[in-house]
Structure 1
Amino acid sequence: MLRIQTFTRKEIVAYLDDLAQLRISVFREYPYLYDGSLDYEKEYLQTFLEAKDGIVVAAFDKNQVVGISTGLPLAQEPASVIGQWATEDVASIYYFSESVLDRDYRGQGIGVQFFQTREAWARELGFRQAVFCGVVRPDNHLLKPVDYLPLDQFWQKRGFTKKEGYFAEMSWLDIGGEEETTKILQYWWKAL
């Protein structure tokens, strides 16, 4: 029995470890290749609950967390994430931070529900645009799986288009790395 739930600050505490572990697991996959820690992830998730107008949406199979999706106003992100959007009306832009889904639950419409839930939330709050970004890796990356399919088509079906020249910078430790390195992430956007 799959269910989607939007969390309040109080409700998420019971699931924080599970949500954090899922992020670590999914973001280890290509193209993110993220070597995360439980403590960092729990603190990261707390920011969405403390942020004004932040949202955390989770998917469950019975009581098992199988997906998570988050968002908050772009203006609450650091300058390295806001990037070129700083030249726009940042207060009108809602940022979809991530959607991660356990591999066994992909292709069942959960990702679509994540986007729909966050879009409805952002519209209700009066935001006029929704944006998100995805990491850019070279086509010949050594850890790129042979059968890898980028999510571009999925995002386009949700009405998003690539915003050329708009990027975010984020740093994290790659699997097998010794220190964090800065990554470039391409922005996608949609009018709400």
Structure 2
Amino acid sequence: MRIVVRQGPEIGPHIDDLARLRMEVFRAFPYLYEGSLGYEQAYLSTYASSPESLFVLAFDGDAVVGVATGVPMDQETEAFKKPFVEGGWNPARIFYFGESVLLPRYRGHGVGVRFFDEREAYARRLGRFGLCCFCAVERPAGHPLRPADYVPLDTFWNRRGYMHHPELRTEFSWRDVGESEESAKPMSFWMKELR
């Protein structure tokens, strides 16, 4: 497996691969996301249009098997920025991690750690960010589609130095697997101070 780092418009040739990956990985618990290629392409195009966005791609041969993204928070949508502005945080000082998706058979070999390391190093190189953050969906412990062997990533995130900030909340709507209508999902943020 090899890791390749790209910025902004350089990601253009991989948009369809990344859209497919997001739909496949986020279909599993806890996201249970019933995605569409059109939505994913539009979402990723927003990142591709920012010259300061980052894509960390994991390849197995010529196949993209994982990706992690990031973008300056002040270039994100209002839904992402709003909790920070309302909480007194300056979005211009925060680098936002969009997602880390990796096909299951490639997990457990350090790729997730590398995804975080590459994005943090990039944010430091840009020189104006004091914090990195990401958000995660919240599902109840007794959710009927929660697999018996599901292990939340909280411990992994804590080991990487990220702290949960449940007071920083937003909502996003999507259609869950097996449902016919979209519903709002609570999301909360995790942050780490860059040193």
TM range (shorter): over 0.9
How many residues were matched structurally? 191
Which region of structure 1 is more displaced relative to structure 2, 143-152 or 6-15? Answer: 6-15
Deviation at 1:141, TM superposition (A): 0.4
Backbone CA RMSD of aligned residues: 1.3
What CA distance in whole angstroms lies between the structure 2 residues aligned with 1:180 and 1:135? 15
Query: Is the 1:52–1:72 contact (alpha carbons within 8 Å) kept by the matching residues of 2?
Result: no
What CA distance in whole angstroms lies between the structure 1 residues aligned with 2:121 and 2:83? 25
Other-structure match for 2:35: 36
* Percentage identity across paired residues of the two chains: 46
- List alignment gaps of at least 5 residues for structure 2: none
Other-structure match for 1:183: 185
Which region of structure 1 is more displaced relative to structure 2, 6-15 or 81-90? Answer: 6-15
Other-structure match for 1:116: 117
Deviation at 1:163, TM superposition (A): 1.2
Query: Is the 2:170–2:186 contact (alpha carbons within 8 Å) kept by the matching residues of 1?
Result: yes
What CA distance in whole angstroms lies between the structure 2 residues aligned with 1:106 and 1:168? 28
**TM-score scaled to structure 1, two decimals?**
0.94
Deviation at 1:115, TM superposition (A): 0.4
- List alignment gaps of at least 5 residues for structure 1: none
What CA distance in whole angstroms lies between the structure 2 residues aligned with 1:8 and 1:82? 22
Query: Is the 2:7–2:52 contact (alpha carbons within 8 Å) kept by the matching residues of 1?
Result: no
What CA distance in whole angstroms lies between the structure 2 residues aligned with 1:94 and 1:129? 6
Other-structure match for 2:133: 131
Query: Is the 1:81–1:169 contact (alpha carbons within 8 Å) kept by the matching residues of 2?
Result: no
Other-structure match for 1:66: 65
SS in 1 for 2:179: coil
Query: Is the 2:96–2:134 contact (alpha carbons within 8 Å) kept by the matching residues of 1?
Result: yes
Aligned pairs (5 A) from 1:1-192: 2-9=1-8, 11-86=10-85, 87-125=88-126, 126-192=128-194
Runs of 4 or more above 4 Å deviation: none
What CA distance in whole angstroms lies between the structure 1 residues aligned with 2:11 and 2:74? 24
Deviation at 1:15, TM superposition (A): 2.2
Which region of structure 1 is more displaced relative to structure 2, 168-177 or 75-84? Answer: 75-84
What CA distance in whole angstroms lies between the structure 2 residues aligned with 1:13 and 1:49? 7
**TM-score scaled to structure 2, two decimals?**
0.93
